[in-house]
A and B are shown apart, each in its own frame.
Chain A
Amino acid sequence: MITELEMGKGESELELGLGLSLGGGTAAKIAGKSGGGAWGERGRLLTAKDFPSVGSKRAADSPSHAGSSPPRSSQVVGWPPIGSHRMNSLVNNQATKSAREEEEAGKKKVNDDHQPKDVTKKVNGKVQLGFIKVNMDGVAIGRKVDLNAHSSYENLAQTLEDMFFRTNPGTIGLTGQFTKPLRLLDGSSEFVLTYEDKEGDWMLVGDVPWRMFITSVKRLRVMKTSEANGLAARHQEPKERQRNQPA
């Protein structure tokens, strides 16, 4: 029987049994190097960024996006699994479509082209409330959270911690690291939680009352604390703005 992976035991060698499926296999134990270094380093889902030159002529150039930093999931190589001929054709369609739309958009007041879509966009006539995208620095695949299913910042932070750093033993979260509670909200950890509001500004989560937050948030990003320093200065103004507005 396979035992669950055990890691972080601080032993220096990997021990593995080679079972040839002849009557019971040998139990295997995998011991990682101390500090979870061996797995922690490379143990993350790889992204297109890891293969700068190793790519294929077939890859269609993805339409350029506004320079917003969260890794867009459309950068994951080969996902969704659509053959390159078809992909090229779709990209061409998009190009012609956006060219046409730009012409027609002259009269309408259009939001910034690269603004993420409204949280309440209708899908097949049903309104999709509450789900917003969450990206984390260093993780290619974004997730979605249902804001309506949460009642407070602590709630939300807990969900996000569970999502990106799963706490169950023997499992590897999206980042391939094992648990250390994140404490996203108190500034004590490596990461902070930020969000983009309706005006396109990036702010630290937690400054405004929860109810106000959920009406103005468009998407979330778990950002490295080192990169978040700029935010503090930036969001002074909008914060002032909000304080001056009637509740």
Chain B
Amino acid sequence: MALRLPSKVLKHILSFIDSNEDRNSVSLVCKSWFETERKTRKRVFVGNCYAVTPAAVARRFPEMRSLTLKGKPHFADYNLVPDGWGGYACPWIEAMAAKSPSLEEIRLKRMVVTDECLERIAASFKDFKVLVLTSCEGFSTDGIAAIASTCRNLRVLELRECIVEDLGGDWLSYFPETSTSLVSLDFSCLDSEVKISDLERLVSRSPNLKSLKLNPAVTLDGLVSILRRAPQLTELGTGSFAAELKPEAFTKLSKAFSNCKQLQSLSGLWDVLPEYLPALYSVCPGLTSLNLSYATVRMPDLVELLRRCSKLQKLWVMDLIEDKGLEAVASYCKELRELRVFPSEPDLDATNIPVTEQGLVYVSKGCRKLESVLYFCVQFTNAALITIARKRPNLKCFRLCVIEPFAPDYKTNEPLDKGFKAIAEGCKDLRRLSVSGLLSDKAFKYIGKHAKKVRMLSIAFAGDSDLMLHHLLSGCQSLKKLEIRDCPFGDTALLENAAKLETMRSLWMSSCFVSFGACKLLSQKMPRLNVEVIDEHPPKTRPESSPVERIYIYRTVAGPRMDTPEFVWTLHKNPEIGVSKLAIK
């Protein structure tokens, strides 16, 4: 006799399960669990917009209220993906408009969004509440105005690091005249000035506003007047933090901040004039998140600020903080969980980088809760990496960027193999890893073997041979995203481990030695992978064995995509390329 959990009971149980990973596991149990789960999933996450069709998603999840989509590969952030590659939001919006009109939240990352798209969103979803666009492009402030004016229940509008055609600050005046339901507004990536009076009025009629991130065009004066009207803010992104030095200006600013008793997160801080920093002292004790990564302020001023931030959990800062400043962070910010140190000089030839491996060692020793690191510096040592691994086995995300390509351990002149071995072995919960510096195949043997939970791995200028890629693809049990640039890897490892690629979300390789022939072969043999060759030169003009500029391989149930530009070659689109001439054993 088959016992079945009544679907009502299962439904009730599932209402407590939010994690999509868990829900995915639930759907695999049996057909009826699959059915119950899909009818109750409200928040849908699609990590690669080309892995599945919009129609399929709409069909499967009829109760969808929130959709998160990611488009371009991560390396697009560093200009490695040419314009026009793809990642268009429109087909998704069209499909959802037709099939899921109750959609309330849309979050897009690295996608191309047009004004028409935004207008469609505004027109199609009656109860639309949340729009978050991260690293998106293709739209103008007109599209934003459409959202502002039409979505009467809008709670969240965040534009994070988008490229927006800025037609002026008028969009701000399109919010409804009556009280708004705005909880969060982020327009920090826009260039042009907004009218302060518009902003003041908006803030005054948005009683629920908790998070506000201004753009650099907003002056300190403007900031003061906003803060007076919104002392309840928990998250603030300032505008430009510089103005003519006047004592009254300072006093007003100081007072405005001291009234913001609930402020937990502070960012923006462009063009900081150090004389104005003390205005922030009153909010420091309550801060859990501080983004100083645009503040070109020297170490002593930074330390004066940071020593007051005893509750700080997240700190983003420039390398101007120096090792000494990081030593101070290690002693004052005991709650620190995430640290990011960015370079202040973009020029690779600069030899004067103020932070060394010592800075990170200080923080690793002093901050017990540290679990996420992004660190740029010129060079590193194995000893430092070993210490960091030993002190912080709880690291979940470790991204080290040794700016000098191929830089060895500068004290011993050896590759950084031992150091990264220690990280991979010691930090058992590591989910994300970026390696750099001089590395041999050995390093990747260790990583392949020990980094069991790493889901995302980034590699540049590393390795000696194909063996490295083989170690990674045949090891790294949890690997989902692998991105590689400028490494001497070729076809062998890729083809040997073809099956692994179906267990991953995607693989990116640029400036490596993968041949066109291998791409074709992979394409032919693995129909559930989309193999994209991104290359300026048409394949016909080159021999099969010549390396291609970039490849992007991802698993998909949507079949080949139809919106590829000229410079993307796929077997499906270009069948005239013919079958691979490679002999198959």
Contact = CB atoms under 8 A, between A and B. Distances in A.
Q: From A45, A57, A91, A141, name the one whose CB has the most chain B CB atoms within 10 angstroms.
A: A45
Given A54-B567, A128-B351, A18 B495 contact: yes
Interface residues of B, number: 83
17 contacts: A5-B492, A13-B582, A16-B517, A18-B495, A18-B525, A21-B498, A42-B547, A56-B81, A59-B79, A78-B485, A80-B346, A89-B270, A94-B347, A123-B352, A141-B486, A168-B464, A170-B464
Contact of B488 (A18, A20, A91, A172): A172
B294 A81 contact: no
A53 B84 CA distance: 12
Please classify the interface of chain B as helix (H, G, I), strand (E, B), loop, or mixed, using the class held by over half of its residues.
loop
Given A26-B585, A86-B293, A78 B80 contact: yes
Nearest to B376: A80
B567 A17 contact: no
A14 B517 contact: yes
Given A21-B499, A80-B348, A54 B465 contact: no
Interface string B449-472: 000000000101100111100100
A22 B496 CA distance: 10
A90 B345 contact: yes
B495 A16 contact: yes
Contacts of A72: 348-349
Given A17-B585, A21-B500, A94-B346, A81 B491 contact: no
B546 A18 contact: no
A117 B161 CA distance: 34
Interface residues of A, number: 71
Contact of A123 (B353, B405, B467, B496): B353
B65 to A, nearest CB: 30
A43 interface: yes
B355 to A, nearest CB: 8
Nearest to A15: B583
Interface in A119-137: 121, 123-124, 128, 133
Contacts of A15: 582-583, 585
Nearest to A75: B348
Contacts, number: 212
Contacts of A242: none
Given A2-B466, A38-B545, A30 B83 contact: no
Given A4-B465, A78-B79, A172-B465, 7 more contacts: A21-B497, A28-B495, A32-B545, A57-B163, A90-B343, A94-B345, A144-B404
Q: From A14, A26, A128, name the one whose CB has the most chain B CB atoms within 10 angstroms.
A: A14
B273 interface: no
A55 B549 CA distance: 13
Contacts of A74: 346-349
A123 B346 contact: no
A84 interface: yes
Nearest to B270: A89
Contacts of B518: 16
Interface in A61-90: 63, 72-74, 76-87, 89-90
A113 to B, nearest CB: 13
B515 to A, nearest CB: 7
Contacts of B294: 86, 89
A58 B510 CA distance: 19
Nearest to A50: B549
Given A5-B465, A5-B492, A14-B544, A82 B343 contact: yes
A28 B461 CA distance: 24
Given A74-B349, A171-B488, A141 B406 contact: yes
Contacts of B517: 14, 16
Contacts of A87: 346
A124 B536 CA distance: 44
Interface string B235-263: 00000000000000000000000000000
A141 B405 contact: yes
Contacts of A82: 78, 342-343, 346, 376
Contacts of A2: 466-467, 470, 492-493, 496
A143 interface: yes
